[in-house]
Amino acid sequence: MLKQLLRTVPLIALLAAICTALPAAQAAPGDLDLSFAGFNQSGKITAIPLLGSSMALAPDGKIVLVGRTGNSMTVRRYMPNGNPDPAFHTVGSITISPPAGMQAIIPEAVAVQANGDIVVAGRNRTDDYDGANDFLLLRVKNNGEFDTLFGDQGFALTNFLNSRDLAQSVLIQPDGKIVVGYANDVFSHDDDFAVARYTSDGKPDPTFDNDGKRTFALGDNDRAYDVALYAGKLVVVGVRAREYPYSDDFALIRLNSNGSLDDDDSDGGFGGDGIVITHFGDNEEARAVAIQDNGYIVVLGRESIRQKRSFLARYKPNGELDRSLDGDGKLTIPVDLLLDLAIQPDGKMVLLGTHTSPDDDTKFALHRLLPNGAHDPTFGIGGVFFTIWATMTGATIWPCCPMAASWPAAKTATQPVR
């Protein structure tokens, strides 16, 4: 889920700071974990860049990074302290080249199975035009070897109407089945939500709408960006776009295990027809979703055009907005572009993305919110932590709340950067 953030940061950085909610972090909330990135380092590392990178945490705390190197795909695995994992293929890294008939492997998302195997979702490219792609799924074993028994000789491809199919999210169900989703572009600029489910060995799941795939037309140009699971049901989030009148809105759908829309009100149906649309007053697209233990759904998004603000919404299990969040269930966060989130066991919400300061520096931005939507004053400075990798002598922290109308002077922390 970190792919959107990593695309906006000039250097690919692995931060233990994003996991300050874990018991292993010894520093104060919002401080960098100096036990990360090896002995006597800064709590962060800079790796050789991978195009379109995405990241996931393994059950044992190891960190998986996947991205492109030319037309090939590279998977790297790091130890919890930030050092390359020597037990993973060749010094923590494996590169997989496209097979005959495929020009490029374009990874977009990654998830780790309970046994440590790594599942990568994305798309293939078969020509220079890059116009007719399929959902692509592959698996790398826990030891770093490419799993050639997965799918068809290691690759699972799914075609939606001979169109430009883009898989950009992936999750592993408790039963081992694999769900991917994103947009289905049918060349008419009429994108639809697209969801596919596979068995644990990479075959289309016939119990999901008979052929393992479904599309949903919500407006004139719809895109799905993330998917989550709760109580056997799938929640897919993205944007519903209308041309007349023009409007981009948060879009959520909830699916039953068989792929049908969850529209049965007698069984706690979702939004009446399985679909919920939320408008913030501008043009918004939902980018990430997390589900609390009680079934409440937290969705994070951004402005779809200017990309200068972020939006957060929380929903009850039936799809109604939870008004305990900022009074109406919706929260607007100006200035910062936040693209991913996690829910702590105490209900606090951690949001991460980037911030561009008045001096045009792009900084890694980390926010922590209380369950009511207010910034957590015990985290960072006023609930926010910013840092950069732009220099070798220090990182800049902006000590302000993002809701402020003006920015105070910068405070510099002498944190060495690799």
- Residue-wise pLDDT for 347-387, tens only, equals 999 998 888 777 777 788 899 999 999 999 999 889 998 87
Neighbours of 85 (CB within 10 A): 19
Nearest one of 166, 161, 167, 168 to 188, comparing CA atoms: 161
Exposed (0-12), middle (13-18) or buried (19+): which is 59, by Cβ within 10 Å? exposed
Inform me whether the pLDDT recorded for 399 exceeds 80. Answer: no
166 band by pLDDT with thresholds 50, 70 and 90: confident
14 in a domain, yes or no? yes
406 in a domain, yes or no? no
- CA distances 53 to 136, 249, 370, 417, Å, are 16, 26, 29, 21
What is the CATH classification number for the domain harbouring 250?
A: 2.130.10
133 in a domain, yes or no? yes
- Which pLDDT score is estimated for 34? 63
What order of strands is seen across the sheet that includes strand 156-158? 104-112, 118-125, 135-140, 156-158
- Which pLDDT score is estimated for 188? 52
What phi and psi values does residue 54 have, to the nearest 5 degrees?
A: -140, 155
Query: pLDDT for 1-28, tens place per residue?
Result: 454 444 433 333 334 444 443 344 445 6
Q: In percent, how much of the chain has pLDDT > 90? A: 48
Give the number of domains in the chain. Answer: 1
Distance between CA atoms of 108 and 167, rounded to whole angstroms?
Answer: 7
- Which pLDDT score is estimated for 411? 25
Global model pTM greater than 0.95 = no
Q: Are 236 and 195 in contact (CB under 8 A)?
A: yes
- Which pLDDT score is estimated for 27? 58
Distance between CA atoms of 167 and 184, rounded to whole angstroms?
Answer: 9
Residue with tokens 């402005």: 303
> Which pairs from 55-61 meet CB under 8 Å and 24+ separation?
55/1, 55/2, 55/3, 55/6, 55/14, 55/110, 56/1, 56/110, 56/111, 56/112, 56/118, 57/19, 57/112, 58/112, 58/116, 58/118, 59/112, 59/114, 59/116, 60/116, 61/24
Distance between CA atoms of 31 and 295, rounded to whole angstroms?
Answer: 30
Token pair of 292 as six digits: 């609390």
Distance between CA atoms of 170 and 175, rounded to whole angstroms?
Answer: 15
179 in a domain, yes or no? yes
402 band by pLDDT with thresholds 50, 70 and 90: very low
Give bridge partners of residue 285 from the DSSP assignment: 302
The identity of residue 202, as a single letter, is G
Distance between CA atoms of 357 and 232, rounded to whole angstroms?
Answer: 42
Domain that holds residue 331: 3-340
- CA distances 202 to 93, 117, 227, 379, Å, are 23, 13, 18, 42
Work out the end-to-end distance of the chain between its first and last CA atoms, rounded to an integer number of angstroms: 24
335 in a domain, yes or no? yes
113-141 average pLDDT score: 85
Nearest one of 164, 176, 165, 174 to 139, comparing CA atoms: 176
- Cα 220–245–164 angle (5° rounding)? 20
353 in a domain, yes or no? no
409 in a domain, yes or no? no
184-210 average pLDDT score: 84
Query: pLDDT for 318-340, tens place per residue?
Result: 999 999 999 999 999 988 889 89
Query: pLDDT for 60-95, tens place per residue?
Result: 999 999 999 889 999 999 998 888 999 999 889 999
Give bridge partners of residue 198 from the DSSP assignment: 178, 204
207 in a domain, yes or no? yes
**207-211, 267-271, 309-313: least confidently modelled range:** 267-271
Q: Are 400 and 384 in contact (CB under 8 A)?
A: yes
Rg of the chain over Cα atoms, rounded to whole angstroms, equals: 21
Token pair of 39 as six digits: 């002995």
